[in-house]
Amino acid sequence: MPIHVAITRKVLLGKEEEFKEALRQFLGDSFWHGGVHGAAMMTALPGSESREIGILRTFANQAERDAFYNSKFFKDWEAYASTLTEEPVYRELTGLEAWFRSPVPPPRWKMAVATLCGVYPTSLFLTYVIGPFIQQLHPAFRTLIIASCMVGLLTWVVMPQVIKVLKPWLSGSLKSSK
């Protein structure tokens, strides 16, 4: 099961460009560790006074995450980065938050609406496509089959598409047309 970690760092005044360049290099080099499946940096818009940098990292599983964070490579990076930033904040993203990969996830009500946009059509689809073939099974077993298919479809097919389509709304960057 993939593990998603969100890290937020506030860069010390005057160290922003040095940190960003070092982070770009570190993120690229971090893929030597086979368990790293993704890494991204998020910065404030140009002109913003925010010095917060968001880092998203995806690992193949918990063991790979632990191996990465216990490696000399990471510890050396952490020692260097601590000279350029305030104390980082680490959050493992679980449940709904893992679909909404961002250092600052959208409000829970938006996550719930987006999830409903994925769950409702998927449940209708599964009811009509699989339902007729499993209607003779015990209700508990039917529910298990539908739930298993639902989780798989939502995780790898439906929710990535829903998030892509709703990303502007979820991030609050929808522009009103006049």
Range of the domain at 159: 108-170
Same domain, 117 and 80: no
Helix (H) or strand (E) holding 58: strand 52-59
16 and 84 together in one domain: yes
pLDDT of the chain, 178 residues: tens digit per residue? 678 888 999 999 999 999 999 999 998 899 888 888 888 888 777 777 888 988 888 888 889 999 999 999 999 999 999 999 999 998 887 655 555 555 556 777 887 888 888 888 988 898 899 989 999 988 888 888 888 888 778 876 788 788 778 878 877 765 544 3
State whether 77 and 136 are in the same domain.
no
CA distance 91 to 162: 23
Q: How far, in Å, CA of 41 to CA of 24, rounded? A: 8
Q: Rounded distance, CA 103 to CA 4, Å?
A: 11
Query: What beta strand segments (E) does the chain contain?
Result: 3-10, 36-42, 52-59, 89-93
Residue 103 lies in a domain: no
Rounded distance, CA 153 to CA 101, Å?
18
Q: State pTM to two decimals.
A: 0.56
Q: Which of 94, 118, 150 is the last residue of a domain?
A: 94
Please give the span between the terminal C-alpha atoms of the chain, in angstroms, as a whole number.
Answer: 45
Q: How far apart are CA 166 and CA 147, in angstroms?
A: 24
Same domain, 138 and 59: no
Q: Do the domain assignments include residue 58?
A: yes
Q: Residues 52, 117: one domain?
A: no
11 shares its domain with 89:
yes
Does one domain contain both 140 and 66?
Answer: no
Same domain, 115 and 82: no
